Amino acid sequence: MGAMEKVFSVTLQSGKITDVYFAKDIKDLSSQLSSYSQNALWVFDTNTAPLFKNLPPNRVVLESGEKNKNLKSIERIISAALDYHLARDSYFIAFGGGVVCDMTALASSLYMRGTKLVLVPTTLLCMVDASVGGKTAIDYAGAKNLIGTFNPAQDVLISCDTLRTLSESEYISGLGEVLKHALLSKDEELYNFLVKEKDKILSRDRDVVSQMVKLSIEVKNFYIESDPEEKKGIRSALNLGHTFAHALESITHFTGLSHGKAVAWGCGRALDISYELGLIDNDFYTKANNLFNMYPFDMDYRVGRGEWLEFQDAISKDKKRMSGSVKFVLLEGFGKPVLKQLDMKLVQRTVISGPAKSNNK
Amino acid sequence: MGAMEKVFSVTLQSGKITDVYFAKDIKDLSSQLSSYSQNALWVFDTNTAPLFKNLPPNRVVLESGEKNKNLKSIERIISAALDYHLARDSYFIAFGGGVVCDMTALASSLYMRGTKLVLVPTTLLCMVDASVGGKTAIDYAGAKNLIGTFNPAQDVLISCDTLRTLSESEYISGLGEVLKHALLSKDEELYNFLVKEKDKILSRDRDVVSQMVKLSIEVKNFYIESDPEEKKGIRSALNLGHTFAHALESITHFTGLSHGKAVAWGCGRALDISYELGLIDNDFYTKANNLFNMYPFDMDYRVGRGEWLEFQDAISKDKKRMSGSVKFVLLEGFGKPVLKQLDMKLVQRTVISGPAKSNNK
């Protein structure tokens, strides 16, 4: 630092607690929701609003879809809160997937510097990923999640009944993140559960899926509690598979391929490289791959040679988030993530030709 | 609460430390500023940009004034950061008064969920008030500071040399908040300093003013560290005089009267009522009033009978921030604020006719 005299060090701390509730059924959820006072703003999108017979009057219904995850939607939420004369001690209640939850959480952190926030995730992806951990976001100027805050919900209400309304593709997308969590777990409880209960999971058995969501959130909690604002290199482990996934989503122009499927594929590539670098042994490599192969993920997808430059460019965009170079999340075993810079030749070979036949063990 | 099963309580904590530096002179400040890397966005307004011979290229110059404290200016800052390819680990450096600092701090908390933030307050009001404590804001739909976050600066750099550029009215405005802090201090050091050094303070002697700013920030620190997000009724004490001040500013339509002068007047009214309710004795009442009367504040201003309804309406707007009723900050002595709901008849009499001749002691 320069030459000035440091006179004060002021510490501002805030401990925010998120309570996660599980509903036995829709009635249970409704009863919980009715416990929030009239002093609330309800945020739906055009997908979730029709799920209700009687919408509360103090509501906003946003257009669904990533293309509406923008500042204009945030202004709509804030203007509605102002119209309904909501104060700092009111609730913003989001009912939807990641887009609705991320935006409601952002608006809640901004309105009068923060209202109470309740998230009711209605997709599996949102239940196991977006709803817990406090990341809020909108896209801006073509950059995904460029604008956001850290604003953990006070309550997250999960009712796995809502998952029945999802398309097969949306449901499987959420499973991608669940399987990622199975690798990041220090014990093998989630892994074993996913193997044992595969059929009931795929048929969306409510009790089994609830248990799976609980185990999955438990894994995420460990990482976010250790590093809430992603500053210590611990929370970043939740990006396992994501650098590969973002690049794949980018070269496929987000058409057809769901986020969770891309994440599953990315986890496969992280496993390939972890194996090739000798970080994991053959047993773990096989065991981990077996899990992904049990579920409907296309793990053998290969990037075309002609697509490599675009793929590499997408990786370097991920890189811009930190001035340094991009670090990939690799594994040394269950719950043992490591962050590593990688030789791009190795990345290229892995995504184009698949894993090397032998490793250095 | 309702009927759902609470399964997790996730705690997210963030301890944010603000370091406050004082420059001996402008050279000292420049040297400190040069220690921030190229990896920075500089935010000026049309008042502060001309103070620099060589503006850094990676800059934004906002139109000065409260009317530009809006979402459009936030977008300008964020777009510039994107244009200069700034990452999460870059610095946003604000150079200006409260409007520039509040907006840069908000943009910094939003861009990629938070960059590093340095504030260089150039007005006395901003040095002793806006720059420390983490409140960020813009106005929205006619509501002052409706949108904001809590985002403490990493560093605040104070050079009292910049105060020479202020008009007399701007400088006196800052003193209003300083005198308020003297009443909120648990000891009488700031009070005695303001009495003893009055002439040097009014002539803006650099060393004396630096010392005054330090003592003033020290008082504020106590309240913000005890209650960073204004949820425990401790930080609210910093609003001493402000409910009266906001209402006065509202009925005078923000013309002519500076914020700090309105705050000084508001402190006078809080003292009147504290005295009338028997919270303070005649000695403290006289001593406190003497301080305000030593400086160029119009403490005897009275609200006209015909202005009362408008004044009362402005108070009730302050109230909307919390669903309950508005609480005034009163005093029981140096550093002994109390929050109280007040009978509006008492408020009316106090602002129109002045304090009652006798109190209940």
pLDDT tens, B318-328? 655 666 678 89
Q: Quick check: B2 pLDDT over 70?
A: no
Structure tokens at B101: 């600092």
Mean pLDDT of A35-62: 90
A40-45 and A59-62 as β-strands: parallel, antiparallel, unpaired? parallel
Comparing CA positions, the residue from B19, B156, B54 lying closest to residue B98 is B156
Residues of B in contact with A223 (CB under 8 A): none
Smallest Cβ–Cβ distance between B10 and the set A6, A18, A39 belongs to: A18
Q: What is the mean predicted confidence (pLDDT) over A328-351?
A: 96
CA distance B349 to B357: 12
Greater confidence (B255 vs A35) lies with: A35
pLDDT recorded at residue B324: 63
Are B82 and A141 inside 8 Å of each other by CB? yes
Average pLDDT over residues A265-271: 98
With an 8 Å Cβ cutoff, is B288 touching chain A? no
The pLDDT, as a whole number, for residue A360 is 43
Q: Any idea what the Cα angle at residue B349 is, between residues B347 and B354, rounded to 5°?
A: 105
- With 90 as the cut, is the pLDDT of residue B55 above it? no
pLDDT in tens, B156-210: 999 999 999 899 999 999 999 999 999 999 999 999 999 999 999 999 999 999 9
Question: 3-state DSSP call for residue A239?
Answer: helix
| Tens-place pLDDT, residues B331-355 | 999 999 999 999 999 999 999 998 8
The answer, for B3 touching chain A at a CB cutoff of 8 Å, is yes
Highest mean pLDDT among A219-233, A290-304, A324-338: A290-304
| Separation of alpha carbons B213 and B160, rounded Å | 9
User: Is A149 within 8 Å of chain B by CB?
Assistant: yes
In this complex, is the C-beta atom of A85 within 8 Å of any C-beta atom belonging to chain B? Answer: yes
Q: Give backbone dihedrals phi and psi of A237, rounded to 5 degrees, phi first.
A: -60, -25
A111, A137 in Cβ contact below 8 A? no
- A326, containing H or E segment: none
pLDDT at B285 over 60: yes
Judge contact between B126 and B97, C-beta under 8 A.
yes
The alpha carbon of residue A338 and the mean position of all alpha carbons in its chain are separated, in whole angstroms, by 19
| Mean pLDDT estimate for chain B | 91
pTM for this structure? Answer: 0.93
Q: How confident is the model at residue B360 (pLDDT cuts 50, 70, 90)?
A: very low
Return mean pLDDT, chain A.
91
Nearest CB among B9, B85, B132 relative to A320 is that of B85
| A47 alpha carbon, distance to own chain's centre | 20
Q: What type of residue sits at position A92?
A: F
Whose CA is closest to A171, among A124, A206, A205?
A: A124
* CA nearest neighbour of A231 among B140, B12, B188, B142: B12
Decide: A328 and A243 in contact? Cβ < 8 Å.
yes
Give the pLDDT confidence of A159-188 residue by residue, as tens digits.
999 999 899 999 999 999 999 999 999 999
pLDDT > 70? residue A342:
yes
A26 φ/ψ angles, rounded to the nearest 5 degrees: -65, -35
Q: Which helix (H) or strand (E) holds B241?
A: none
Q: Is the CB of A7 less than 8 angstroms away from the CB of B14?
A: no
What is the helix (H) or strand (E) element at residue A47, kind and residue range? none
* pLDDT surpassing 50 at residue A6: yes
pLDDT band of residue B52 (cuts 50, 70, 90) is confident
The H or E element containing residue B64 is none
| Non-local CB neighbours of A66 within 8 Å, separated by 6+ positions | A99, A139, A254
The SS3 of residue A204 is coil
Question: Is the Cβ pair B12, A152 closer than 8 Å?
Answer: yes
Between chains, do A18 and B9 touch, taking CB under 8 Å as contact? Answer: yes
Q: Which residues 6+ apart lie within 8 Å of B209 measured at CB?
A: B124, B160, B163, B200, B201
Stretch A25-36: mean pLDDT, rounded? 86
- Using alpha carbons, select from B346, B355, B351 the residue that is nearest to residue B252: B351
Q: Tell which residue, A193, A124, A194, has the closest CA to residue A165.
A: A124
Both structure tokens of A29: 């959820």
Greatest pairwise CA separation for chain B in angstroms: 66
Half-sphere exposure of A119 (CA within 13 A, CB side): 35
pLDDT at residue A1, rounded to an integer: 55
Nearest chain B alpha carbon to A106: B110
User: Any residues with CB less than 8 A from the CB of B204 and at least 6 apart, and which?
Assistant: B160, B163, B164, B171
∠ Cα A26 A27 A33 (to 5°): 90
* Helix then strand then coil, % of chain A, to nearest 5: 50, 15, 35
Distance from CA of B256 to the nearest CA of A (A): 27
ipTM of the complex in this document: 0.92
CB contact under 8 A, B28 and A3: yes
Do A320 and B87 lie within an 8 Å CB cutoff? yes
Q: Can you give the pLDDT at residue A30? A: 87
- Reduced to 3 states, what is the DSSP secondary structure of residue B44? strand
The mean pLDDT value for A324-336 works out to: 90
Question: For A14, which of B4, B143, B228 is closest by C-beta distance?
Answer: B228
pLDDT in tens, B202-254: 999 999 999 999 999 999 999 999 988 888 889 999 999 999 999 999 898 76
Fill in the amino acid letter for A274: S
Beta bridge partners of B331: B337
Which neighbouring-strand residues pair with A44? A61
d(CA B64, CA B87): 27
Q: Which 3 state secondary structure label does DSSP give B322?
A: coil
